[in-house]
Amino acid sequence: MGAHGYAELARHVGHPLEFAVYGTDDAAPENLAIECLHCSEVVCDADRDPHQTDSQRCRYEQLLRHRGHRLECVSRPMTGTVAVICRACGRDLLAFDEGER
């Protein structure tokens, strides 16, 4: 679920984004998602699952740390990338180069 390449993420540049939390445990929700309010689409999400890979666990923990922060989808023409960034710390939460599909 979510954007899996440059073109899919680029459609959300300039749109308002927000975190959505799914599950009953607020400290460790079942799923965290970044959703585009303009398109009503999931841009990126991660599940809490004891059987997930290290990469999946890293994505979940990264989203959990940034929950509640202001997010923005930006285009960087000079580097040919598009990214979802956390405005609180400036970190990329999701990024694709122009050639990634």
Write down the domain spans for the chain.
6-97
Nearest Cα to 45, choosing from 97, 95, 93? Answer: 93
Q: How many Cβ atoms are within 10 Å of 62's Cβ, its own excluded?
A: 17
Q: Is 60 exposed, middle or buried (0-12, 13-18, 19+ CB in 10 A)?
A: buried
SS3 60: helix
Provide the pLDDT confidence category of residue 101 given band limits of 50, 70 and 90. low
Q: What whole-number distance in Å separates Cα of residue 95 and Cα of residue 85?
A: 8
Using one digit for the tens of pLDDT, what is the confidence trace for 29-80? 999 999 999 999 999 999 998 888 888 888 899 999 999 899 999 999 999 9
